[in-house]
Structure 1
Amino acid sequence: MNEASLPLGSDASAGPLTSPASQVASAAAASPRKQRAIIAAAIGNGLEMYDFTVYSFFAAIIGRLFFPASSPTASLLLSFATFGVGFVMRPLGAVLIGNMADRRGRKAALTLTIALMTVGTALIAFTPSYASIGVTATVLIVAGRLLQGLSAGGEIGAASALLMESASQGRRCFLVSWQAATQGAAALVGALTGAAVSASLSPEALESWGWRVPFLIGLLIAPVGIYIRRHLEETHTESREHASLGAVVREHGRTLVLGVLLTTSSTSSMYIMVFYMPTYLVNTLHMPQVTAFLAACVAGLTMLVMAPLFGRLADRLPRRKTLLIVNSIVSLCVLLPNFALLASGPGLPLTLCCIALSVTIGSVGSGAGAAMMMEALPRHHRATGMSIMYSVGVTIFGGFAPLIVTWLIGATGSRMAPAGYLLGAGVISFAALLLFPSHPNRD
């Protein structure tokens, strides 16, 4: 069966012999499971994005406290390098934890990822400054980011697979889109928390201990997430013989490479327009700190609202890949004019509109793209394959994007340097999208 053979808005999980009464009963029974799956994915994925947001918000302070250097720019670069170094561990986490999800089930893998994320966050929250314990402080902060990266590498594949496997075929994009939506929600909460702490404390108190408060708040969420994930309903079990890493690479090597390239645009846009943007607005465009705070809030809120809306739309379209192609073309056409307006420092309202437009375009394919990537793989290779595609793409093109564009702006003096990076990433993703295999509604 191909995607075009389904009626508009159909639910392929309801067989032709299923009575209306039994469909209603089945939907009622499935609804709590879908809700639990969304909550379980949201808490772990949200904690990850929340930590990244508050780290970005306090990157300058963290740079001064843990990476003393000859200039503020050098400290900031070292801070962003540590932000990026966690991404080096993502491919390892993708292989180890993603493969665990295919071998032992989604629940065990998701419980492990949130435990690792909790330990990493605790290291960042409690480590004394460089002035107190010297280079040990730097090492512990880096170790915390490495653990967070290891966790995040396995998180995306296992959580996305759980969401898709908890959905009927006619609602896959919608459920999977909650991965992006929860990232937006976490970015919004992280920005609000960071802004509240910054506004409530003096600069001295903020640098002394206040910046740790948002990380401590994040730790309070972790026990709830661990409890919920340990009591999830499993959606997949598989024997060790069929889920080996070698089999994934051997049987789906071309798909994995195309998937890595496909994520280039979305991950670059996410980490530049959401996580790097507050720093860009303040340090490069010299806008007030409140603008950076509002930009992060607008970006997070836009993702939270738009991702599920476009996920629902994708489920109703006969050909989801067409939506992704059209969206990529629009993105490439709009990118440079939109960023040129942003870089001109047009004032608060237009600045927020530029950011909202960019994030909206990025949200269009969040559910459809992830569903397409997972449908390209059989169930017993899905978590490993998705983890590898996403994590390698994020590592190469997303995680170090703030560091790269910070360096590019310093080297060229051009405010448009981030746009050039995003344009190159968009072209790569568009080419990969045209070649990516489509297996709609694959179980």
Structure 2
Amino acid sequence: MSTASHASSPNESKVKTVFRVVSGNFLEMYDFMVYGYFASAIAKTYFPSGSEFASLMLSLSVFGAGFLMRPIGAIVLGAYIDHHGRRKGLILTLGLMALGTLTVASVPGYATIGLLAPVMVLFGRLLQGFSAGVELGGVSVYLSEIATKGNKGFYCAWQSGSQQVAVVFAALIGVILNSVLPAEQMTAWGWRVPFLIGCLIVPFLFLIRRSLKETDEFLARKHHPSMGEIMKTMAQNWGIVLAGMGMVIMTTVSFYMITAYTPTFGKEVLKLSAIDVLAVTVCVGVSNLIWLPLAGALSDRIGRRPVLLTFTILTILTSYPAVQWLVADPSFLRLLGVLLWLSFLYGSYNGAMVVSLTEVMPVEVRTAGFSLAYSLATTVGGFTPAISTLLIHTTGNKAAPGLWLGVAAIIGLISTLVLYRTPEARNQYRTA
């Protein structure tokens, strides 16, 4: 009896630790999802124009602008975490994210304060992007360093798993609001409610994350590199960072296409109802949450490379035909079927990709290197809603987003082949 009790306590401790570390990651993705879901309403509030297309493009461009700050945040905050510790850095990023969310939630509309309104919204998005630049890397590295032997893929998958909880939560709020509020009220003020809910969650998340302990692996290190040393090591390993960026592009393009862009694509292109497209987004978040840890665990058993190659190739072969089938006769069921398929591809690929990125980076700059590669990729993938809107507008092809996803998968395939090009690299992390 006592033996079982002692055996279970470490597992309970690990579960609590994972929950604490991914809690802030939830807020980071929740903020980005809410902006993406309500991009149309935000466009009318802050970016009024005689052209709906121009207004929406401005709104989606500001959404993407947040990603431009991620590489800067990755370098500055990543170096801070690699020098001062995982715990301190994760608390700092949570505070910056909260400030950015509050800014976007509280700025009056263009009709009230003129040009100052979009400028302040842009500032809020840039601040969110700066903090998010290292949030994913900090969380992923923390999880990899506390993982039990042979289970790093499974542990790291919960970084992305917490994001899917945010996807579902934000979409459910959208479904409820669209059910109880008329479209005019949603455009006028209803879209602010999810942002305010995010602000109310912040104190709870601070309490959770404050209880984090530093990882044993970081404490055991005799030397914690300075900013100069980190920059030098990063420069020496630029090839790994660049290849890592290529792997992440597949993740970011597919993720933002099937989550943040779905409400806009469903309403503006497919002409489906707001409730229908948000309901599909809820299902996508649940599906992602299922596939991510399963793929992470599978990569622990058979290696990262086979999983990464399988799902990049499947994406290349099926993404455009699937979207083409959807736009040929749009319906709720077709949208659900296609998005669940793309969710399967995304979740299965990303479940192996995140842990791969923590493993290929030099240990002394693990957070900064991971975060820079991820952030550089999001400067491409984060603009997926804007790129997709522009492609459809300029080509007249409603299935063009599927082509964009296929291009991202080709980049992911090439990067995987580069990083795992030798037998040693292929087998190095099989039992890490």
Q: TM-score, normalised by structure 1?
A: 0.90
> C-alpha deviations, 1:82-120, integer Å up to 9, x for none?
100000100011001111111011111100111111000
Q: 1:312 to 1:400 in 2, by over 3 A?
A: same
Contact 1:90–1:153 (8 Å) recurs in 2: yes
Superposition map of 1:66-85 within 5 A: 66-85=46-65
- Out of 270, 287, 296, the residue aligned to residue 311 of structure 1 is 296
Contact 1:320–1:368 (8 Å) recurs in 2: yes
- Out of 97, 104, 110, the residue aligned to residue 124 of structure 1 is 104
Q: 1:119 to 1:260 in 2, by over 3 A?
A: same
Tell me which amino acid in the other structure corresponds to 1:168.
Answer: T
> C-alpha deviations, 1:342-388, integer Å up to 9, x for none?
22234222220110010111111223211111111233211111101
Partner of residue 242, structure 2: 257
- Out of 297, 300, 303, the residue aligned to residue 282 of structure 2 is 297
Say how many residue pairs are matched: 420
Tell me which amino acid in the other structure corresponds to 1:340.
Answer: Q
Contact 2:175–2:278 (8 Å) recurs in 1: yes
How far is the alpha carbon of 1:255 from its aligned partner? Answer: 0.5
Bigger mean CA offset, 153-162 vs 32-41: 32-41
Partner of residue 134, structure 2: 154
Q: In the alignment, does 2:81 pair up with 1:140? A: no
Partner of residue 311, structure 2: 327
The alignment yields a C-alpha RMSD, in angstroms, of 1.9
Partner of residue 227, structure 1: 207
CA distance in 1, matches of 2:214, 2:6: 18
Contact 1:375–1:441 (8 Å) recurs in 2: no
Partner of residue 283, structure 1: 268
CA distance in 2, matches of 1:284, 1:126: 30
Q: Which runs of 5+ in 2 are unaligned?
A: none
3-state DSSP class of the match of 1:374?
helix
How far is the alpha carbon of 1:336 from its aligned partner? Answer: 2.2
Partner of residue 413, structure 1: 396
Q: 1:348 to 1:365 in 2, by over 3 A?
A: same
3-state DSSP class of the match of 1:360?
helix
Q: Which runs of 5+ in 1 are unaligned?
A: 1-20
Superposition map of 1:360-379 within 5 A: 360-379=344-363
Q: In the alignment, does 2:83 pair up with 1:107? A: no
Q: In the alignment, does 2:429 pair up with 1:440? A: yes
Deviating runs (4+, > 4 A) in structure 1? 24-27
CA distance in 2, matches of 1:208, 1:322: 49
CA distance in 1, matches of 2:322, 2:119: 40
Tell me which amino acid in the other structure corresponds to 2:363.
Answer: R
CA distance in 1, matches of 2:55, 2:364: 45
Contact 1:66–1:130 (8 Å) recurs in 2: yes
How far is the alpha carbon of 1:220 from its aligned partner? Answer: 1.6
Q: 1:204 to 1:343 in 2, by over 3 A?
A: closer
Contact 2:304–2:430 (8 Å) recurs in 1: no
CA distance in 2, matches of 1:27, 1:252: 41
CA distance in 2, matches of 1:342, 1:432: 29
Q: In the alignment, does 2:77 pair up with 1:94? A: no
Tell me which amino acid in the other structure corresponds to 2:359.
Answer: E
> C-alpha deviations, 1:53-91, integer Å up to 9, x for none?
211221111111111122111111110011000001000
Bigger mean CA offset, 27-36 vs 198-207: 27-36
Tell me which amino acid in the other structure corresponds to 1:440.
Answer: Y
> C-alpha deviations, 1:273-318, integer Å up to 9, x for none?
211121111111112222211221121111112111222222222x
3-state DSSP class of the match of 1:116?
helix
3-state DSSP class of the match of 1:209?
helix
Partner of residue 184, structure 1: 164
How far is the alpha carbon of 1:242 from its aligned partner? Answer: 6.2
Superposition map of 1:19-38 within 5 A: 28-38=8-18
Identity %: 35
Partner of residue 392, structure 1: 376
How far is the alpha carbon of 1:441 from its aligned partner? Answer: 6.5
Q: 1:334 to 1:390 in 2, by over 3 A?
A: same
Q: 1:41 to 1:441 in 2, by over 3 A?
A: farther
Contact 1:37–1:162 (8 Å) recurs in 2: no
Contact 1:67–1:75 (8 Å) recurs in 2: yes
Contact 1:36–1:232 (8 Å) recurs in 2: no
Contact 2:270–2:330 (8 Å) recurs in 1: no
- Out of 178, 190, 196, the residue aligned to residue 216 of structure 1 is 196
Tell me which amino acid in the other structure corresponds to 1:423.
Answer: G
> C-alpha deviations, 1:198-226, integer Å up to 9, x for none?
22122333233221111111112211222
CA distance in 1, matches of 2:82, 2:430: 19
CA distance in 1, matches of 2:154, 2:370: 18
3-state DSSP class of the match of 2:237?
helix
Bigger mean CA offset, 210-219 vs 287-296: 287-296
CA distance in 2, matches of 1:25, 1:330: 45
